[in-house]
Structure 1
């Protein structure tokens, strides 16, 4: 379960990427390469020979500075585990390669929201005629990149490709079913665990030394209390699970019910809409209120103890 995600939108100009961002209220999470270009230079006039008129367009001569700034912003946001959306075309072969360094460094999942099959060329050209002037693109450029996108539909294997209609489901985090275990041990931050791991027991640890010692075990996870451990192999910021028919959330701090929000139930398994929350949001301590889900956190059991669910 990867909580940290970077979404990149892929599609020909005019296919609806920016409209999609607005429709889903994603502007606060989005970096637009067009907006970054406008930080380096204002709109400029060109002459459209086919229409016989002048137009204002976004300057394209600052591409190098634009993408250097983009990667700097991505690096900065990933350091804090924030969800990121990038609004750009992402159509050419090397479009994803520059992201790979950051995805691997910060253990992110990259999701491509692909618009290339959503609209045909004639409709794209028709929309281009009625776009806000500075969003207008030379029709020959649209034809060229549309043809390229159709002839290169496959993305790198490490990129998770979804359609716009599938996007909403990617924001949900599903429970891990731990019902095959006999018991679950909750290791406090200051607890002293003696002995060896039991073969039919799962371990949720707030003790970093214990988790680090057993980081190769699939039966041990660690709950982050700050960003310093977020890149650990077995570290989770929030861990929803079901055990013997009961639903639980393990986090560093107890979550308020309005933070948990809408819970989707699919065949008895809970899915939580945590996709846009920052990692640090789960680590803040707020006044506790009534919760629909049983929670395990630093502030609801003695940290020198080892508790068990059985």
Structure 2
């Protein structure tokens, strides 16, 4: 927080030792340390090394540069220097005023000169200061006074005074905590239903203005209540724009400069009064009310630190971590066992409800975009939540995206593929070519509208017909910008449907009109090529699964409907992956049109066809009508190690698809890589970060005890089974001995 602590006293009085004892070293700028950074110890005329002061102009210039950078962030800072003269303390006043810092001096002048001389002699040789200098400084201390604008503390007072204590608000009948208002006066007035009550407390969690269109009215209300003792305003990031505007500083916000500033100027406000108002902003509010402790910040914290005073103001305003971090659930996890409730605004990327987590309330409700003003009313009986609809807001200025790529013919698209750096063509029998993205595209993450379509695309180059195709390439959550949660929250179109994701490999069954035959494909090959067995395995399993009547029906179905059938191919013996399966099987995933533009049949048709053929199909796991319910599900399953499946495919209402890989699958996939390295007697150090639990560490230790040949020959599924049997036997042995 915006606090500057200056130490004052002779060299040798114990200032640096005191800093260490108080745990303040990480927050301290030391003049002597900067002197050593500027120049190492130099030999004195008596032959001993000493810290030189010849470059003090550079030392203090650097110290003030570092201090300015800290103050811009609102970092708690200690300055370790002698600060003998009044002038040496007054040099901080301008910065303290600019950045709204409280300044304290911890005064060591009560330490006798004799003690300083004695302790100075026992210091490390290069830190010893000439005694004549100490005598001169001591004489100056007798006449120099600490400026009156600074608060003076004795060292023994510091731990009691400089600890951020909670305040009791039990004297109020109710406490109202408001989320981001963003210049939405109508919603604010709807909640207040008139004026405030003297026996109730009103806490505003920041972002009073900006983005909304009633900034003038909100500012008028705030100025009218500026001197009310029962109104607390916490500083938000948009409130910093108002502070700079009121002080004639440059505001780096297009929205504020284009809209908010003109509203304020049209209101003919007295900027002197606005300056008085913004100087009353709080950095946080930490209080107790009828036995319950509350922490209110604008941006939200991930835990309750040992000393709130040491938290940067920038973090209090913008929040800890990234804007996309789920600060509410992190706070609850990190404060387990503590009876404290967090309240914040600023960020709600995942559209969480007001009670976002068990002990964390999120008051960001997108009020400025036609959402809700969120308010908590806290009484002796508990917490009530309110969401006030805002009917007065600015219409979106976002331009509608326009597709600039017209539909192209297959021949033109093939020409694009031929010239594309990240697409490879594989010529196959019966005039068929397969197109797929290259390994380089995958490793370098080079994706565009062309090579995402070139995934499992099989074309008869003689007839210029697509004989089989699978999905466009789609990505895991957080793998690409468009699948990151902060993008999905604004772009997923509901309802969203979740399907299970089996753990095999993709195979397709299409149709080649020139040969009048089904086409079996996988991994860029058809079953006519024995170089890669996966497509042949698709064909073998297909004919093992269906009888002649069913085969004829499937052939006519894919021919007449111009589609491919997309399967998950499960072969536990021939091609084991991560998840355990008991038998070979084809799982019907989707029915995809054999055309350039991606189109597939509805899930109902997939279910109908699979039931008619007596086979398995993908399963619908869940459907969500809104982001909040989807995100709660995502939070639950993405941290659940007990779900022994690969993951889920998530599809929105317009057909956009993304994937979620589950923790169990991800871990055993990492263990498979370690298994391979152990078998080859290579270092597995790069995978050691996967060992996050005791069970994982035990598996790795067990793996090292196995014969390398056994590790090499067996799949990760077999090794996992052996390990689990060993674990069970060990547990049984321990129970018997107990």
**Does the TM-score normalized on the shorter chain lie above 0.5?**
yes
Q: Which residue of 2 aligns with 1:47?
A: 45
Q: Which residue of 2 aligns with 1:109?
A: 102
Q: Which has the larger radius of gyration?
A: 2
Runs of 4+ in structure 1 over 6 Å off: none
Q: Which has the higher contact order (CA 8 A, sep 6+)?
A: 1
The whole-number CA distance in structure 2 between the counterparts of 1:228 and 1:214 is: 12
Structure 2 residue matching 1:169: 3-state secondary structure: helix
Q: Does 1:242 align with 2:288?
A: yes
* Structure 1: unaligned runs, 5 residues or longer: 49-53, 262-272
The structure whose residues are more often helix, as a share, is: 2
2:235 counterpart (210, 224, 246): 224
**How much does 1:308 deviate?**
1.7
The whole-number CA distance in structure 2 between the counterparts of 1:133 and 1:55 is: 7
Structure 2 residue matching 1:165: 3-state secondary structure: coil
Structure 1 residue matching 2:32: 3-state secondary structure: helix
Q: Which residue of 2 aligns with 1:270?
A: none
Structure 1 residue matching 2:87: 3-state secondary structure: coil
**How much does 1:301 deviate?**
4.4
1:293 counterpart (340, 355, 378): 340
Check conservation: 1:179, 1:244, Cα contact below 8 A. yes
Q: Trace 1:271-286 onto structure 2 (pairs within 5 A).
A: 273-282=307-316, 283-284=319-320, 285=325, 286=327
Q: Which residue of 2 aligns with 1:306?
A: 375
**How much does 1:109 deviate?**
0.9
* Structure 2: unaligned runs, 5 residues or longer: 210-217, 244-277, 346-355, 366-372, 380-738
Aligned residues: 289
Q: Which residue of 1 aligns with 2:87?
A: 94
1:247-272 CA distance string (max 9 Å, x none): 32212355455x344xxxxxxxxxxx
**How much does 1:297 deviate?**
2.1
Q: Which residue of 2 aligns with 1:170?
A: 161
Q: Taking structure 1 as reference, are residues 179 and 68 closer, same or farther at Cα in structure 2, changes over 3 Å only? A: same
Q: Taking structure 1 as reference, are residues 309 and 158 closer, same or farther at Cα in structure 2, changes over 3 Å only? A: same
1:188-236 CA distance string (max 9 Å, x none): 2246111333333321113513478415233322233448639632322
Check conservation: 1:9, 1:89, Cα contact below 8 A. yes
Q: Which residue of 2 aligns with 1:157?
A: 148
Q: Taking structure 1 as reference, are residues 122 and 288 closer, same or farther at Cα in structure 2, changes over 3 Å only? A: closer
**How much does 1:245 deviate?**
4.6
Q: Trace 1:45-84 onto structure 2 (pairs within 5 A).
A: 45-48=43-46, 54-84=47-77
The whole-number CA distance in structure 1 between the counterparts of 2:378 and 2:21 is: 43
Check conservation: 2:179, 2:344, Cα contact below 8 A. no
Q: Taking structure 1 as reference, are residues 212 and 186 closer, same or farther at Cα in structure 2, changes over 3 Å only? A: farther
The structure whose residues are more often strand, as a share, is: 1
Q: Taking structure 1 as reference, are residues 213 and 301 closer, same or farther at Cα in structure 2, changes over 3 Å only? A: same
Q: Trace 1:128-277 onto structure 2 (pairs within 5 A).
A: 128-152=120-144, 154-190=145-181, 192-194=187-189, 195-206=194-205, 207-209=207-209, 210=218, 213-215=221-223, 216-217=226-227, 218-226=229-237, 229=240, 232-257=278-303, 259-261=304-306, 273-277=307-311
Check conservation: 1:171, 1:276, Cα contact below 8 A. no
The whole-number CA distance in structure 1 between the counterparts of 2:238 and 2:94 is: 19
